[in-house]
Structure formats: C-alpha cells, structure tokens
Amino acid sequence: MRYFHPLLGVLITGAARLVLAIAEKKAVDLGLDWAFCDTDSLAMVKPKEMTRHAFHKKTDRAASRCGH
C-alpha cells in the first residue's frame, strides 16, 4: 500500500462535493435547476419559459469563477 493515504482520499472527495454544491447554489441563484450531477459535472435544466439564449447566458455566468 505504498501510494495509499486515507486523509488525502477524503480531502479530494470532500473538495469535489464542495465544488458541486457551489455549482448547484450558483445555478439556483440564477433561476436554473439541475437534473443530475456526477463527480465532476452538473447538468443544468432550462426552464420552459426561458429562451435558449437567456439559458446559455445564465449557464455561462454559473460556470464563471466570479459569477458576474
């Protein structure tokens, strides 16, 4: 077990979950919802009343670091 470190494994997993939680919060704050998430991605859902252009603009904002 030369390359095993339990603390490092826990920290990596915890950080990935934190990033997904931040992405979910940013999406919800922008009026978007999400369908599912994986270890490194979040699938956002376009509301029926929102235009495709507005949806893409909001997903770009959600993906940006600062959210502006």
- In the structure encoding, which two tokens stand for residue 64, read together? 């940006």
Q: What mean pLDDT is predicted for residues 37-60?
A: 90
Query: So what's the pLDDT on residue 65?
Result: 58
Q: What is the pLDDT of residue 67?
A: 46
Q: Are 47 and 33 in contact (CB under 8 A)?
A: yes
Predicted TM-score (pTM) of this structure: 0.72
Q: What local confidence, expressed as pLDDT, does residue 48 receive? A: 92
Sequence-ordered alpha helix ranges (H) in 1-68? 6-29, 52-63
pLDDT of 38 over the 50 cut: yes
How many whole angstroms separate alpha carbon 37 and alpha carbon 49?
A: 23
- Whats the size of the chain, residue-wise? 68
